[in-house]
C-alpha cells in the first residue's frame, strides 16, 4: 500500500491500526493525511498505535550530562553506521536519525499529539514499547528484531495510542 494515498478500505473497517516506524517516512502533510485515513478506517471506539522515532530523544544527545542509555545508544548506532570514524559526535547521531533510511519528518510527542487530535483522535496516551492497556496492542513490535537489539529499539522509539471516539 501507499501510505501517502487514500487507504483502500471502507470506512469503519478496523478495530485497531498499528503503524511502526513508518510515519516518519512521510512528509508532514502526508503524515497528517495518513492519520486522517487511519481515523476514517477505524470503527468508533477503535484504537491506533503509532511507534516512531522521538525528536525529543534526539535533542537529548546534546545534553552535557548524558544518561547511560544515551551513551550506549550513541555508541551502538555510530559503531554500526560509521564504523571507520575516528571520533563519534552527537551531530552524527542527529544526521543519521534525520537523513538515513528515508526519513522525511521526525515528530516530537506534542506535534504527533496535535496531528492525532486534528485527525479526530482522542484519549491520546504515551505507552512503553510492547505495553498497552489493550490486549490486542500488547507486544506488537518488530523494530527490535530488525535492529537485533530490543533495548536500542525501545530507546529510539516513541509510542502513542489514541482512540476513535465512540459515537453518541
Q: Which domains does the chain have, with CATH numbers?
A: 14-163 (3.40.50)
- Residues 60 and 49: their CA atoms lie apart, in Å, by 24
Note the pLDDT tens digit of each residue in 26-70.
999 999 999 999 999 999 999 999 999 999 988 888 888 988 888
Q: Which pLDDT score, from 0 to 100, does residue 149 have?
A: 59
* Cα 130 off chain centre by: 13
Average pLDDT, rounded, for the chain: 87
Q: Is the pLDDT of residue 144 over 60?
A: no
- Residues 18 and 72: their CA atoms lie apart, in Å, by 28
- Residues 6 and 123: their CA atoms lie apart, in Å, by 24
Across the range 85-98, mean pLDDT stands at: 82
Amino acid at each position: 500500500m501507499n501510505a501517502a494515498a487514500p487507504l483502500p478500505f471502507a470506512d469503519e473497517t478496523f478495530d485497531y491500526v498499528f503503524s511502526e516506524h513508518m510515519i516518519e517516512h512521510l512528509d508532514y502533510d502526508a503524515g497528517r493525511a495518513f492519520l486522517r485515513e487511519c481515523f476514517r478506517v477505524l470503527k468508533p471506539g477503535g484504537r491506533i498505535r503509532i511507534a516512531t522515532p522521538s525528536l525529543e530523544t534526539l535533542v537529548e544527545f546534546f545534553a552535557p550530562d548524558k544518561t547511560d542509555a544515551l551513551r550506549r545508544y550513541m555508541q551502538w548506532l555510530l559503531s554500526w553506521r560509521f564504523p571507520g570514524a575516528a571520533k563519534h559526535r552527537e551531530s552524527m547521531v542527529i544526521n543519521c536519525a534525520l537523513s538515513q533510511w528515508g526519513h522525511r519528518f521526525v515528530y516530537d510527542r506534542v506535534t504527533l499529539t496535535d496531528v492525532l487530535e486534528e485527525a479526530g483522535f482522542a484519549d491520546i496516551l504515551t505507552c512503553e514499547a510492547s505495553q498497552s492497556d489493550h490486549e490486542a496492542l500488547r507486544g506488537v513490535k518488530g523494530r527490535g528484531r530488525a535492529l537485533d537489539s530490543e533495548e536500542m529499539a525501545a530507546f529510539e522509539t516513541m509510542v502513542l495510542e489514541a482512540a476513535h471516539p465512540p459515537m453518541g
